Structure 1
Amino acid sequence: MRKELWFGLTLMALIVGAVFVFMPSPADWTNGHLGLLMLALIVVAIMLGFPTAFTLMGMGVLFAWLAYRHANPEIAVAQTLDLMVQRAYAVMTNDVLISIPLFVFMGYLVERANLIEKLFRSLHLALAWIPGSLAVATLITCAVFATATGIVGAVVTLMGLLAFPAMLRAGYSTSISAGAVTAGGCLGILIPPSVLLIVYGATAGVSVVQLYAGAFFPGLLLAGLYIVYVVVLAKLRPALAPPLSAEERTVRLSPLATTLRDTVSRRALPALLVGLKGRRNVDVPMRDVARQLGVVLMPAIFVAVSMSLMYAAVTSPLVTAGTGGLEEMGAVSSSSSEGEASFDSLQAPPEEASPAPDALTPATPAAPPIAQVPAPAPAEAKPTLATPAADVTAAADVTGESRPAPTWFWVTLAVVALLLVYFYWRFDFARLEIFKMLLSSFFPLAVMILAVLGSIVFGLATPTEAAAVGSLGGALLALAYGQLNYSVVRDSVFLTAKTSAMVCWLFVGSSIFSAAFALLGGQALVEEWVLSLNLTPVQFMILAQVIIFLLGWPLEWTEIIIIFMPIFIPLLDNFGIDPLFFGLLVALNLQTAFLSPPVAMAAFYLKGVAPPHVTLNQIFAGMLPFMAIQILALALLYIFPGIGLWLPQVLYR
């Protein structure tokens, strides 16, 4: 019998044994005990291979009927059927779920646009001077691709076909190669636009917009820690990640570039400026030279536009807010009698003010009891950046004179100018070819991703609207690269429908299951047990993250979020924990679960496309250091909650 099967059977036996040990005799069972039994049975049933969504619905209907039958047997069937219809309708009318098929469709189009191969090639040439450049390029490519798709299996499989053999051919250690592919592929769980964050937001009633803003820096932190580890390891032990050979770093130049390099200069900018004289000088077509010069000048144009906008911002006339003689209704003037508070129209009364939220302060109202079975609240409302009162009562006083630019601006301008001069001093024709490869692969994808995420984070569009724009952008990219044909669209639509149907039916099953669990009083029993432990917020957070980590071995993230988050979320208010911060920790934690042997799904995705001589044990060995980095990132996020909470607080609070 295989080790994986032994592990699964042992885990199921432990779950069933725990039920018999900790549950009282059947004669003493209450409805709450039936709820806990339902929770244990659902885990065992999923591990046995039953479809998750329909298992949730079946268990939910059965135990909901038992709960209603205990109250009134005559109408138990009618009440159970009504519950099914209400829960299914409540899920299907949740607007935030529309963004899931749109983001998934965008990801499948980008995957089939053949951008990733060009992106990986251009990145590993651009980063050839860095130790472990192939692994670093793999991690960056995975991060970019994961941002565009958010589907772990697709990223790991594609990079396993593209980057994994390239690293092995370059003499990289199998462990480092496997670890870079699997760890990089899991970044899509955390980095926006993550489907996991959408599902968590819809389940916990947390704004998806704020979740995206909060996950941005933790995602960059984790990717940065991966890159630092690879670079340091390659520097200390070059045998594990040898540098690329001169032949592998060679870039083929065009005839124009070769002529200008040999006759004028190796540096691209002066050679192209001289080449503008055309046939009278080096016998090259002026049109081609002008086109290449436009590409070379792009960084300088970008810097000039950016610094001009910055100069305009720092020297713009001062804008001061004034009341214009108006007072807010209810405000007391400064001539009020002693003992009465006075405040200006732009300030809230003292009793309404609230301190800035931190990691352990709930930022949203307490969740209603699950027993009421509320419909999931849409979590994509645009953030309000100004109160109506401020808009009505405040008048802008603009001074006519521009301000002088501060000293820091001129220092920044000088530093940027020096860096730009150094850039063009080192910018030869080989780097020009690499830059053009990046222009055709990295920058279009980066612009699309930044446009989608920027419109969400800055409140210009809801996640659903931004996802629709992203889908259009994915189609335009596929069209631009000649990959938008009937076969690509058909496969993308089919896979999108398949994935979306799975998620939506999971939501329906989870809603029915949660309603049955609440009707039986299972949530109240769990809450009573947790509170009886007299845990501190730190102890509760550690306990919750350990449980989620262990659940990540046998279960997918969708099952963990949909089944177990409705149990954890109502407990957060008792410990004063922000559901937004808890969601960021969960997203980071579930990446660890994807890399945890022996049921690490990322390892099996890679094994399916790896060469035959690569064993699972080698893949597991390569994933362990990256899993330790994930645990380090989880600890850093908890110790310094501002990593995840700073951006949402600045933008929305």
Structure 2
Amino acid sequence: MIELLPIWLFVAVCICLMFGYPVAFSLGGTALIFAGVGSFMGVFDGVFLEALPNRLFGIIRNETLIAVPLFVLMGVLLEKSKLAEKLLESMAMLFGTLRGGLGISVILVGALLAASTGIVGATVVTMGMISLPTMLRRGYDPALAAGTICATGTLGQIIPPSIALVLLGDVMSNAFQKAQLEMGIFSPKTVSVGDLFVGALIPGLILVVLYIVYVSMVAWLQPHKAPAVSKEELRQGATESVAIMLIKGLVPPLALIIAVLGSILSGVATPTEASGVGALGAAILAFASGKLNLVTLKDVVYSTTKVTSMVFLILVGASLFSLVFRGFGGEELIHEFFNGLPGGVFSAMIIVMIVMFLLGFILDFIEITFVVVPIVAPVLLAMGLDPVWLGIMMAINLQTSFLTPPFGFALFYLRGVAPPELKTSSIYKGVIPFIGIQIFVLILLTVWPELATWLPSVIYD
């Protein structure tokens, strides 16, 4: 019974979260209660909690995490500048006269937004408000329209500069160092947020291409589900040429993406420094669009502070949780369990992916990144897995979880902004093919890990 206390601790946290208690307080409060009970029973050494001040000081000093508020600020600024509306209008002009053209436009715009904001919720909500009414009004099948928007919105999970990859990169770096120490390896090799950014580019582009292929196939085989729109209808109310609209809509986000990702890939800036470039670029775009005033700036700062505070408070609670988990021998328990599996590292990886997928129904990626990954990643890395590949697999796995009915976060985001006439069943039905696509990409990465590891090795080696 005592040996299972780490498992009971994890179960207790999940129960608190299912009852709706705040994540940070659920993590920290449950850990403190278990630590107190364990100390009273004589099965918990309080010396583990003495490391908490150093942990918290390390969080404050962590330069990588500075990227979080800056990328959030960049995303909120772009949302307020109405960049997505201009981009969607210009893309619709370009592809709308084709079968499935509006769907393709939504995917391309969503991918650009993902590469600009890195926030899943913001992308789904923005695309849901802008594109869903247009697609429904022009005869698109409700399930196809909803599925396309939800799936495209989750690209913010994998396409850099993703907030998920920033947090995952920091945690994976610590796990990699820990795994090396456990194996007795003293190597200068590290894994960084930049590695994950670069490693995610090819899988992210594969997802975008497969989404477009699927929508195009539906439009070709079942034209009534994704009809073409006449040029006259698309041009209704437009005062500028398609070329001018495309330049105005496409150049600003592309310039921002090049500034952020280009500075990282070229080695000019670290991801943290690039986040500053992105925030400044987003502010310039918002100002140039005439949307940046004192009221908007106040809203932007408030939203950024709120999200950043949530992230760091969860990180504090997760640090306390991990210390108590270690104090109860949780890491040794995980080691013994994984090493005793008949299939070795393959079985361990399958179990971790299934558990993370299921936890994605009740936990956001922040909680999973800070709570689950530090527990399982060192063990998996010590078994010989590549940290970049493992990070990308986890990110896509969570992306799939956020899309899966009935609890996927992306579905809730879209339901919140969708018109009442769009049935929830249509949303669930629409995402199923895209879930299949994401699972297919996970299989591709399993068979060919080089899809995630080749580009970082070329750029950084």
Shorter-chain TM band? over 0.9
Q: Which structure has the larger Rg? A: 1
2:184 corresponding residue in structure 1:
none
Summarize deviations over 1:395-441 as a string: whole Å, max 9, x none: xxxxxxxxxxxxxxxxxxxxxxxxxxxxxxxxxxx9xx212112112
Q: CA deviation at 1:540?
A: 2.5
Q: CA deviation at 1:220?
A: 0.7
RMSD: 1.9
* Conserved 8 A contact 1:210-1:457: no
Q: Distance in 2 between matches of 1:152 and 1:594?
A: 10
Asked if residue 121 in structure 1 is aligned to residue 89 in structure 2, the reply is yes
Please list, as runs of the form range in 1=range in 2, the aligned pairs for 1:251-650 lying within 5 A after superposition: 433-650=241-458
Q: CA deviation at 1:249?
A: 3.4
Summarize deviations over 1:87-106 as a string: whole Å, max 9, x none: 22221221111000000001
Asked if residue 104 in structure 1 is aligned to residue 76 in structure 2, the reply is no
Q: Distance in 2 between matches of 1:437 and 1:96?
A: 37
Matched AA of 1:244: V
Q: Distance in 1 between matches of 2:333 and 2:212?
A: 45
1:162 corresponding residue in structure 2:
130
Aligned residue for 1:608, secondary structure, equals helix
Matched AA of 1:56: L
Aligned residue for 2:308, secondary structure, equals helix
2:176 corresponding residue in structure 1:
none
Summarize deviations over 1:542-585 as a string: whole Å, max 9, x none: 22212211111122111111111012112113431112111000
Q: Distance in 1 between matches of 2:364 and 2:199?
A: 23
Matched AA of 2:196: L
* Conserved 8 A contact 1:208-1:463: yes
Q: CA deviation at 1:138?
A: 0.7
Divergent runs of 4+, >6 A = 251-254
Pick one of 50, 58, 61 that aligns with 1:93.
Answer: 61
2:232 corresponding residue in structure 1:
247
- Give ranges in structure 1 of 5+ residues lacking alignment: 1-28, 255-429
Return closer, same or farther for 1:224/1:252 CA change in 2, 3 Å cut-off: same
Q: Distance in 1 between matches of 2:238 and 2:49?
A: 70
Aligned residue for 1:167, secondary structure, equals helix
Pick one of 84, 106, 115 that aligns with 1:147.
Answer: 115
Pick one of 13, 16, 22 that aligns with 1:51.
Answer: 22
* Conserved 8 A contact 2:43-2:328: no
Q: What is the aligned residue count?
A: 444
Q: CA deviation at 1:69?
A: 5.4
1:209 corresponding residue in structure 2:
194
Aligned residue for 1:508, secondary structure, equals helix
Q: Distance in 1 between matches of 2:31 and 2:148?
A: 41
* Conserved 8 A contact 1:572-1:578: no
Matched AA of 1:245: S
Summarize deviations over 1:90-127 as a string: whole Å, max 9, x none: 21221111000000001100111111111000001111
1:232 corresponding residue in structure 2:
217
* Conserved 8 A contact 1:131-1:235: yes
Return closer, same or farther for 1:99/1:107 CA change in 2, 3 Å cut-off: same
Matched AA of 1:615: K
- Give ranges in structure 2 of 5+ residues lacking alignment: 174-190
TM-score, normalised on structure 1? 0.66
**Higher mean C-alpha displacement, 79-88 vs 533-542:** 79-88
Q: Distance in 2 between matches of 1:81 and 1:552?
A: 28
* Conserved 8 A contact 2:49-2:323: no
Q: CA deviation at 1:67?
A: 4.9
Matched AA of 1:240: K
1:184 corresponding residue in structure 2:
152
Matched AA of 1:465: E
Q: CA deviation at 1:130?
A: 3.2
Matched AA of 1:170: R
Higher helix share: 2
Q: Distance in 2 between matches of 1:443 and 1:235?
A: 31
Return closer, same or farther for 1:70/1:573 CA change in 2, 3 Å cut-off: farther
Asked if residue 223 in structure 1 is aligned to residue 208 in structure 2, the reply is yes
* Conserved 8 A contact 1:142-1:159: yes
Q: Distance in 1 between matches of 2:52 and 2:449?
A: 40
TM-score, normalised on structure 2? 0.92
* Conserved 8 A contact 1:153-1:602: yes
Matched AA of 2:269: A
1:38 corresponding residue in structure 2:
9
Q: Distance in 2 between matches of 1:82 and 1:523?
A: 18
Q: CA deviation at 1:72?
A: 9.5
Identity %: 40
Q: Distance in 2 between matches of 1:59 and 1:250?
A: 58
